[in-house]
Amino acid sequence: MQETDIEGAARALLQAARARVSLDGLPAGVRPATLAQAYAIQDSVAAMLGEVVAWKVGAKQPGQEPACAPLTTATVHASGCALPAADFPQRAVEVELAVRIGRDLPGRAEPYAAAEVSGAISAVLPTIELVESRYVSPASQDRHAIVADGLSHGALICGRDCPDTALLAAHEFRATLDADGSRVLALDRAHNPAGELLPLVVWLANHAARRCGGLKAGQVVTTGSLTGIASLAGAMHVEAAVEGLGAVSFDFR
């Protein structure tokens, strides 16, 4: 793919999001054939949306190479925000655990070790991610297409920072999700499918060091679902809580 093809793919995905239409897939001329092309499409989309203030990273099982996506000011919000329900037709939410990067981890040739990355984390925080694919059937798309679409990112709502970074080492959490005061999910042993969370952040630190000059102080890194996806409907107040971290909420209006 040439650079113009990457920009064409980015425009197609953004136009689908803004028009609230779903694509059967990216056209053949702009479909990514490699992971590098998929990440280049992500970068083009991000450049059209604004400053990168967060990342999502995750893997479906321990030992699997993670995938990631940069998130911009356009889709990252503080707890208590109100979001237009019409912008999120899939209405799918996940409760996640994120970290705050406390100091820059700039690009360099030498890989970052786990201790360096751990020392750069200033806080842990609860988040809710709204899952929103630009494809009619995400399951029918290959990995490159899913990565190009920002790993089906819709929005990220961030709770308050908790300075107890030791929580990052926990393997299980108690997590709940309420919609208009009714309990949707209550998991006493919520866990990330990738297993330990720190290796995800270490992988991302090294990926970003090669890709874009590294992670920046203040950025949030959300590490994937603790609860799986819950599908909601209607205008409502949504609140999630992770024991030891506190709550995070938003309103569909």
What Cα–Cα distance (Å) separates residue 127 from each residue in 18, 21, 80, 157? 24, 26, 12, 5
Taking alpha carbons only, the member of 151, 148, 153 closest to residue 42 is 148
Return d(Cα 155, Cα 152) in angstroms, integer.
10
Q: In 3-state terms, what secondary structure has residue 68?
A: strand
Task: Specify whether the CB–CB gap between 168 and 121 falls below 8 A.
Answer: yes
Q: What is the CATH number of domain 51-252?
A: 3.90.850.10
Contacts of 174 (CB under 8 A, 6+ apart): 187, 188, 189, 190, 242, 243
The pLDDT of residue 194 is: 96
Return d(Cα 127, Cα 233) in angstroms, integer.
20
Phi, psi (rounded to 5 degrees) for 46? -60, -40
Return d(Cα 23, Cα 17) in angstroms, integer.
10
pLDDT tens for each residue of 180-221: 999 999 999 999 999 999 999 999 999 999 999 999 999 999
pLDDT band, very low/low/confident/very high, at 110 (cuts 50, 70, 90) = very high
Torsion angle, alpha carbons of 125, 156, 240, 60, to 10: -80
Q: For the chain, which residues make up each domain, given as ranges?
A: 51-252
pLDDT tens for each residue of 44-98: 999 999 999 999 999 999 999 999 999 999 999 999 999 999 999 999 999 999 9
Q: In 3-state terms, what secondary structure has residue 237?
A: strand
The first and second tokens of residue 78, run together, are 């503080």
